[in-house]
A and B are shown apart, each in its own frame.
Chain A
């Protein structure tokens, strides 16, 4: 059996407050095989970024705690590692690309210096070997003049170029897993397409497993084979993109899909939207979290929590799937 590049088993994140626990991520499990890309989709506040932070061991923060049965990279559990031990893993085995490259990059160092530092820390080598690895990484994300980019400071680059540099930095040690958290959200359409192309190239070349976090299903479908839909900290549907777009089983997934504006030759009918809004995390309903906004809701849905139910490898957490 293939060992998954990333395996997450029963991950939870919560806030501890005086009046009890506020769940942010509620017992999610998934795995990604080498060379596969899986999308994690949901609205702001659904727990996507917290999932990423928990996997990377960046939690707990203030008043926040996380637990998991296991978080494995190539079969090696990293969930119990100390902060020091984790430093050897971050950037080497698992790397992250953030939404805002402008704040993720250090303004006082050149792009080259920053990528050098990552490579030197994990793999070492002479000055020229390190720089060569940096230039190779920049070259591999599509920069034609890698040396110019390496000697540039972040403010000299456009938003798209900064994000490509971040991807080069994430890939410089050829990690098994890359988590990309809304990497293209701040960019315009044309730049986004380019970045996605480069990510795809790197993924197939190095057999990297990618966890691609986005609120935009259409972006996820461009790069991922599989997709997980998250709502209020729970996975409500896990399937492949093709099936999701042709036949979403969870009413929330179907609602999200209908919200995507389409380009048609004729003027489209008014766009449909999901009624209501995400429930407050401090007062989540006892049953299905989506019940109040769902047009298929039954009394049963308000009381019991639906489990992810698999049918031909496609999971939906719903008592009345479509």
Chain B
């Protein structure tokens, strides 16, 4: 079905208009989000708590079934796969979570933890597996004597290394790191970031790096995507994002991260339980309530996600923004 010369152009991960709703909640946790990750590149996904970042991570490997939209991995639709195909894909996509204490089993030694994915996916024979485990342990900077020990015998940084080793042991193409360094001390965080940087340059692994911390994203990401209340507001190459963010929300995030929050922020005072009594934003921009650049049109019409880069040759590196400021035809033109 795919021509050989197209394999380079096919993105490793292609998410198209993914929507997802929990239980019977009125609002979508993920609202028509499209994202692409090229082979060997990394995407930083940023947004406040509750923006839908983790929901996307889970939907990619079908830990949650999306309501609509597609997730394509290497050009193949994950949503229509049978269980055997899905198992293959899950071997190629691995996750690392925020808290290693919770994500590692306290009853298993490091060796058992690392062996499990290999057994689950029937990779190699006993000897191959042993070698693979030693190799991966060295990759994450741990010594062989770690194998017989239990998670509680390690520091939090070492535990996160074990979690990363467990993710890497099946040799995945895509690593999803969901706030993987957020609970660590800065010094340990720096060690893990270095490790991820090395994995990128040595093995060319693609990373979906989810974080609320822009400074950390800057270290890892080739591209940056910004989410707010389930919607994608901006996706852009990292260099462009950090020098010239386009969306007012991105600008606000960046200003806060640099320690210079805009005087107008936050526009509204704290409110009770926003999640349950959010304004109906179906016919407006989701960020309109807090936006310093709000115009009349922002509360009347939902902006479209559009490419603001004139050079459209590199479609995967496009700079997309969902904001009325960048509409080509202003609605108030008379």
Chain A residues with CB under 8 Å of chain B are 43-44, 142-145, 148-149, 152, 156-161, 164, 188-191, 193-194, 215-218, 222, 255-256, 258-268, 270-274, 277-278
Tell me, in angstroms, the Cα distance from A189 to B194 when the chains sit together: 22
Contact status A222-B259, CB under 8 Å: yes
In the complex, whether B214 has a CB less than 8 A from a CB of chain A is yes
Find chain A residues with CB under 8 A from B194 CB: 270-271, 273
Chain A CB within 8 A of B157 CB: yes
Q: Show 10 A/B contacts (Cβ-Cβ < 8 Å), sorted by A.
A: A43-B185, A145-B271, A158-B274, A193-B259, A260-B186, A263-B214, A272-B190, A273-B190, A273-B193, A274-B187
Q: Is B49 an interface residue (CB 8 A)?
A: yes
A261 CB contact (under 8 Å) in B191, B219, B238:
B219
- For window 228-249 of B, CB contacts with A under 8 Å fall at 238-239, 242-243
A-chain residues with CB within 8 Å of residue B266 when the two chains form the complex: 190, 194
B215 interfacial contact with A, CB 8 Å: yes
A295 to chain B minimum Cβ distance, whole angstroms, is 15
Of A148, A158, A256, A265, the residue contacting B186 (CB under 8 A) is A256
Report if A277-B157 is in contact (Cβ < 8 Å); known contacts: A43-B188, A156-B273, A256-B186.
Answer: yes
How far, in Å, is B1 (CB) from chain A's closest CB?
37
* B160-192, CB < 8 A from A: 185-191
Q: How distant is the Cα of A190 from the Cα of B257 in the complex, in angstroms?
A: 8
Give the complex CA separation of A190 and B189 in angstroms.
Answer: 20
B interface: dominant SS: helix
Which residue of the partner chain A has the closest CB to B198?
A: A270
**Residue from the list B49, B157, B185, B238 in contact with A215, Cβ < 8 A:** B185
User: In the complex, which residue of chain B has the Cβ closest to the Cβ of A151?
Assistant: B272
Which B residues lie within 8 Å of A272 (CB)?
190
In the complex, what's the smallest C-beta–C-beta distance from B164 to chain A, in angstroms? 15
A277 cross-chain contacts in B, Cβ below 8 A? 155, 157-158
Residue of A nearest to B50 (CB): A158
In the complex, A143→B252 CA distance in Å? 22
* CB closest residue in chain A, given B222: A267
Within 8 A of A (CB), among B127-169: 155-158
Q: B272 and A215: CB pair below 8 A? A: no
A267 touches B238 (CB 8 A): yes
B48 touches A44 (CB 8 A): no
- Could you say which residues of chain B place their CB within 8 Å of the CB of A149? 270, 272
Q: Is the CB of B212 within 8 A of A271?
A: no
Residues of A within 8 A of B269 (CB): 142-145
Q: What are the residues of chain B within 8 A of A157 when measuring CB–CB? A: 272-273
Considering the chains assembled together, what is the distance between the CA atoms of A189 and B51 in angstroms? 14
Q: Is B316 an interface residue (CB 8 A)?
A: no
The distance in angstroms between the C-alpha atoms of A227 and B215, with both chains bound, is 22
B294 within 8 A of A: no
- Are A193 and B242 in contact, with the CB atoms below 8 A? no
B227 contacts the other chain (CB 8 A):
no
Verify if B213 is at the interface (C-beta below 8 Å from A). yes
Name the residue on A nearest B181 (C-beta). A261
Which of A262, A264, A270 is in CB contact (< 8 Å) with B197?
Answer: A270
Q: In the complex, A156→B190 CA distance in Å?
A: 35
Interface residue? B261 (CB, 8 A) = yes
Given A43-B187, A43-B188, A152-B272: A265 in contact with B238 (beta carbons within 8 A): no
Complex CA–CA separation, A259 to B194 (angstroms): 10
Residues of B close to A264: CB separation below 8 A: 218, 242
A189 touches B270 (CB 8 A): no
Q: Are A143 and B193 in contact (CB under 8 A)?
A: no
**Quick check: is B28 within 8 A (CB to CB) of the other chain?**
no
Provide the residues of chain A in CB contact with B48, threshold 8 Å: 188, 190-191
Shortest C-beta distance, B228 to chain A (Å), equals 11
Neighbouring A residues of B185 by C-beta, 8 Å: 43-44, 215
